[in-house]
Every structure is written in C-alpha cells, then in structure tokens.
Amino acid sequence: MRFESGMLVKLNQFKYTPIIILISKIVVREISEHLKNNIKKTKENLENDLKDCSKDLMISEEIIFQVKETLLPKSNDEDLINKKIENFLDKTGSQIIYVNDYNPLDKVLTNYFEKKPPFSQKKKAEFPDALALVSLEKWAEKHNQKILAISTDQDWLDYASNSEYIDCNDNLGIFFNEYQKYHHQQNQIAIEFCKQLTQVFLGGDIENTLKELIKENIRDEILNLDLFPTANSSHRYEVESTEGATK
C-alpha cells in the first residue's frame, strides 16, 4: 500500500470539498500491519542487496555501513508508520471512525448467528470487518448521509446491498471517473449561471431579472434533491408525498 502514488494520492483533492473520507479505526490498524510488513521486507531486501554489493563489487564494509546509515530511517518502525498514516489523513482530510463510539456489537452478534454478511460460511471469523461496517453504517445513520465504501471483499459488497446507508464499489478508479463527470457537470452549471448573470447586468433591469434568475435556479436545485424522510414512532407510519412552491 502506497499513499504517495497511484489511486490513493488522488484522494487529496477531496480535502476541501463536501466529500468526507471515512476510515474505520479497524482499517487503520490493518493498514498499519501492511505497512509494517512492507517496511520489514524493504529493510531485508536492502540488507541483502548491500551484502551482494560488498561481495560482488568489492565495496568496503565501511562504505556499506555509511550507505546503510544514510538510507535506513533513524526513527523506529512504529513512528514511521504513524507518520505515514498521519500524513495521509492530513492531506486527504480523512475522518477516523472509532468503533466504540457507535456500539455496534449487538448488530454484529445478530449478523454472526444469522450468518449474514460479512459472516459467510467460509468467513465465520470476520468480526473486524463486521465491526467496521456496522460502525460506519451507524455513523451514516446518525448524520443522515450515504457512504460509498471501496472494497473488493464480496462480503462488504453483499452487506452494502442490504444496507440503506452504505453502497460499495470494488474499483476506486470507477469512483474517480464518476466524480469527474459530476464535477464537470457542476462546472458547466456554474458557467451557464455566470453567463446568464452577465446578460442580466447587460440587459438593464437588474433587480427584477436577477430575482427571477435566482428563483429559477433555486427551483432547479430543489427538483434535483433526493429527500429521505425519517421518523420515530411506536405506531406504524407511512410516508406521504407533498408538493411545495418557491415564492
């Protein structure tokens, strides 16, 4: 896993946008383990390569030692891992979701005994995934927002297919493509609005025309809204449609 290149570095563009990047604390721990293994492997490869240089190229042990001192970080592995993760969180504006904040255990145990995703037949030990999913879902429910999870795990995809608050995609690249289309569309709307605004000022009757233009754009935005009503009641209730008008 590399934060400095590939798809992950593209997440930096969302820091100052309405899009919130959520990462479960459980996933952060899993990332730490991946980074720990990568660092260990890199150090081992470096040690072996330097030994080969000493033997094959007849480089003195003193020079090999100097190279090793230059290349290997002075901080310990844990500090290095924490720094890499903190840099990623800062650059992307990511928010960590702590499992204990959302008390997901009741639902996790229910899913476990009923063998619902992510507890498929071959994955009865998926408690970390289950805790991550349920805490993310509870965050979304609390904030009345929809979450797009990115995972190639089939149980994540299955869980999301039955969730009101989580959608799941197995390809981060597809998300970026869809976002670029949306971003382009929003830019076109802004450009068109500026053109209309320019015509208003050039037309003379600024006050009345500007009011109508603003009302028209507000109406368009309202029509494009997806509203999801929520309610709490001890009795059965149904959602009724209603209409409104802007004045």
Q: 168 and 150 in contact (C-beta within 8 Å)?
A: yes
Phi-psi region of 86 (alpha: psi -120 to 50; beta: other; left: phi over 0): alpha
Region 95-119: mean pLDDT is 79
Percent of the chain predicted with pLDDT > 70: 84
pLDDT band at 164 (very low <50, low <70, confident <90, very high): very high
- pLDDT tens figures, 176-200: 888 888 888 888 888 887 787 777 6
Region 110-132: mean pLDDT is 73
Q: 168 and 160 in contact (C-beta within 8 Å)?
A: yes
Question: CB-hemisphere CA count at 13 Å for 133?
Answer: 29
pTM of the predicted protein model: 0.62
pLDDT at 120 exceeding the cut of 70: no
pLDDT band at 206 (very low <50, low <70, confident <90, very high): low
**To the nearest 5 percent, what fractions of the chain are helix, strand and coil?**
65, 5, 30
pLDDT at 191: 84
- Which sequence spans correspond to the domains of the chain? 1-95, 98-170, 173-223
**Over the chain, what is the mean pLDDT?**
82
Highest mean pLDDT among 34-43, 179-188, 192-201, 228-237: 34-43
DSSP class of 11: G
